[in-house]
Structures are given as structure tokens and as C-alpha cells.
Chain A
Amino acid sequence: MSDFFRDMAVNPMLLTGLLAGLLASVACGVIGPYVITRRVVFLAGAIAHTAVGGIGAAIFLSYRWPGAFGWLTPPVGATIVAVASALLLGVMHDRVAERMDTLVGAMWAVGMAAGVMLIKFTPGYHTELMSYLFGSIATVASSDVWLIAALDAVIVAAVLLTHKRLLAICLDEEQAGLQGVSVLGTNLLLLTLVALTVICLIQVVGLILVLALLTLPAAAASHHVRRLAPIIWISVGLCMVLTTGPRVAVYGTRLSPESAIVLAAAGLYLLSLLLTRLRARPGGR
């Protein structure tokens, strides 16, 4: 562990990686509690996986037509497609009552498959795909840190402005509508924020593991506090610990830091569950 901090002095990439993790923690710690309360974890998964389609399209297009699509970097492509699929899913959520899960599953698979295929058409990018799927916290560029910081600012500002509306549709959609809140609009906003969070997390833990950081810290926090606002604060804190601690701990070993983050998140969740069980026993609370 001391190796990590010693090397940080000479290798600024390590510091950049830590910063990226801390900043991404703000996004997933804030949005995760809404996702689990609103029960849209599956939609978040679909958004994350269709983002692979966006990455694939960006890599392919900018390789084929560098003049026309030079601006289309993988994070930009992922952002465009993730937001578009969030809006599509939100409208489907509103209009399609039956078999919604089938459609979501289909989008999930198609987005992923399209992305993988487009990347296969592009020579020399196969390793990059792996880094988007499983994360590459060691190679985060400082421009990515700025992008994550900007997305954080958007997410936090949006939540400060609309927390009451988001909570209202979580508690009782029909009542929120009767009080003049647009349920569809609020839902679209939430899913768009989920899409932005997914973009933040791509760099840190990769798409495959997004769901873990979005759900496990928030779920662990909700074991112990009963209101949404403190759950948000606690899950931001837990995400920060999780994106930092395991990284430092496995530094210099052969273990992948991204997998360590997710396994630590799962361990934390189980520990929290165990604590609530113990407290629920007679003699406890």
C-alpha cells in the first residue's frame, strides 16, 4: 500500500486515477439511491450496455471517416447513445405496460452486440474494447477527469433542483401527477442522469461493473437510514471509499483493481445485510 503513495509522487497517472474515482463516486453515490428506490436497476443496466454500441460506433466512424467524425471520441459516442437510449426507455416505460422487460433485455443485447461488431470492423482496437467493458482506472487521462467533473456538476445541479419531484415519483407516481408534476418528464430526467452517471463510471470500473457501484453502496446505506437524503450522503461516502481503498490495497499485485472494487462493494453489502439481521434479532433494536 505504501508503494502506491510512493509511486504517486513520480507517476501522476496514479493521482489522476484516484481523482477520477472520487469524482465518479459523486455521480454514482447521488444517482444510485434514486435508481434503487425507483426500481429501475434493469433500465440502468440496459443504458450501460447500449452505451457499448455508442463506443463501437465512435471508434468505427472516426476510423473510417476521420475527417467527418474526428470529433467523435468513444466517451462522446457513449454519451450520445446512452442519453438517447435513456430517453427511449423512458418513453417506453410510460407507453408500454406489458412485456417491458423483454424489450429492455432486447435493447441491452442489441446495443452490446452492435458495439462489439463495429469494433471488430476496426483494426487495432480490440484491447480498447476490453478497457471500456472492464474499466481501466490506471490509464484515465486528465481530460477525462475534467469530463467527469463536468458531468458531476450537471448531475448535482439537476438533483438539487428536482429532488422533490424525483422523490415524489418514487413514493407515489399517481399522486405526483395529480400535484401537477409530469411523471414522464421526471422519469426521463432520472434516466438521463443515469446515462450521464454511466459515462462517468465507464472510465473507472467499466460498463460491466457499473451496476455494482450504482446499486450496492446505495442498498447498503438504505439498510441503516430511512430517508433518501442521508442515503445519498452515505452512498457517496461509500463509493469514495470503494473506488479508492481496494485500488490502493491491490496495487503492485496481479489483482485487477476494477474487480477488487466490485468485490469489495459486494462484501460491504453483505456485511451491511448481516448487521441488519443481527440488529433485528431479539435483544437488538
Chain B
Amino acid sequence: MSDAGPVIELRGVTFGYPSADPASPVLSGVTLTVPRDDFLGVIGPNGGGKSTLLKIILGLLTPQGGEVRVFGRPPRQVRWRIGYVPQHAGMDLAAPASVLDVVCMGRLHRSSWGPVFGRSHVGAAMEALRQTGTADLARRSVRQLSGGQRQRVLIARALASDAELLLLDEPTAGVDEQAERGLTELLHELNRRLPIVMVSHDVGFVSAQLKRVACLAGTLTVHAAAEVTHELIARMYHDGVAAVRHHEHCPAAPPQHHEGAR
């Protein structure tokens, strides 16, 4: 990594889906800077724009207003440096493929022609499986995985691409409690060398290892994790309705909160 600046920079990003009401965009004026060592959790109500935000960072969606920079460049130019872990619904679970086949797909940008992946690519995929503690599943069919195993395999696929940044969308959806703890530890471990941005509505998971928390409900506010754990999370936990409390607690972004890290 040559560039020493922040990994992600969003300035005044506004986005609305073409079919929706243009007067109420999904995201409005979102500004965010993610430094090199960050472990950022993005929480917010359903429909608050969490997945949309990730897709904008990946360059899958182009915002109508504002600026997006990843590794200092437009996202489309660097998207293969981003390890994206989608909600597992994105993967075809009936597909005839082994775990190793799926993880090798992280090498596709380096080797997309020909019938098979070469030895070095398979080696990189196996190394990624080892790092996520799933090397013993390599020959298993993706149909036979549990929710937690599936998440680890998708994280391995992201690592196999030599990602310099991890983006995760709801990594704990459909995962039991024990597997969730394991995932938390894994992400904490990976955060020693990778910046991580994770979207979740599951505040319990969010609170454990995060360095910062962003509240997203159309607009975005960033808090240091410590600041959030005590007041916000407790209240959200208490009544279980993140959406309502959340909105109260994250008013339209005051600038001093907005970019604490800078």
C-alpha cells in the first residue's frame, strides 16, 4: 500500500433510487473518513441506507451528489482491492461447488481465463481458509455449511483476493450465538492488519470489538465506540427497537461529531 491517506473518504454523498421519491433520498449529505486501522460498525434501522452505503463504496451504485474516494481513487478503479462480504443470501446455496471453488473466486481478477485456477491461486485460497479456521471444510460442498461456516467462507473469499479493506454486510444474520462470538474474535484478529467496515442491525455484536460506530438513518453520525457503548447501545438494547431510539440519538449530524477522527 503506497498511499498513506485514509482508506475511504465520502464527502456530502447523496443517493436516491431512481424509482423512489427524489425528495427523500436514501442517503443525504453523508460524510465519512475511515482511517487505515479502523474497525467501524455502521448501525441503523432497516431502510436507513446501510447496504446502499456499502454499494456506493464498492462503486456498484453511483451517488447523485458528493464525492467518493477509496484508497484515494474512484471506487471502480480499486474495487478488487476491497474484500466484500455480502449478506449470504447473495450466494447460490444450491450451486454445485466446493468451499475451495467459492474461495478461489476471490482470485478471479488475477486469473479469469482457462478452466482451472493454478497452483499459486489455490494456495492463496487455502491460506485464506486457514486464516478463517475453515481449512478442513475445503472439499465440503457449500450446500452443507452452517450459517457461521458460510460467513467464514465468504470472509475467506474476500481475504483470498488480497483485500486491503474488508466490507461486511450483516455478518451475523442467521448465525447462532457461539458462531457469532467466533466471528467477532476472527474480525478482531483480522483488524490487526486490515481496516474493517461492517454493517449490522445487531447492536450486541457491534459493541464488542469496534473502534467506532456510525449511526446511519439517511444521514450519518460517527461516534467513538466507547462513547456509544455506554449510552446509545444500552438504550437500544433495552427496548430492542434500534430504529426509533437511534433516530433520537443521532440527530442530523453536527459537524464536530461528524468527523471526530480527523
Contacts and interface: CB of A to CB of B under 8 A. Distances in A.
B108 A171 contact: no
B256 interface: no
A180 B80 contact: yes
Contacts of A260: none
A37 B114 contact: no
A-B CB proximity, top 3 nearest: A179-B108, A226-B141, A179-B109
Contacts, number: 94
A37 B91 CA distance: 12
The bracket for how many chain A residues form the interface is 20 to 34
A25 B247 CA distance: 61
Given A171-B92, A172-B90, A174-B90, A179 B98 contact: no
Interface residues of B, number: 31
20 contacts: A37-B95, A159-B115, A160-B114, A164-B111, A164-B113, A164-B117, A165-B108, A170-B92, A170-B95, A170-B97, A171-B97, A171-B101, A172-B86, A174-B60, A178-B84, A179-B108, A179-B112, A225-B96, A226-B143, A229-B115
A161 interface: yes
A163 interface: yes
A40 interface: no
A180 B161 CA distance: 12
Contacts of A33: 96
B178 to A, nearest CB: 26
B244 interface: no
Nearest to A221: B96
A168 B105 contact: yes
Given A164-B108, A164-B112, A179 B161 contact: yes
Given A37-B96, A167-B97, A228-B96, A181 B112 contact: yes
B241 interface: no
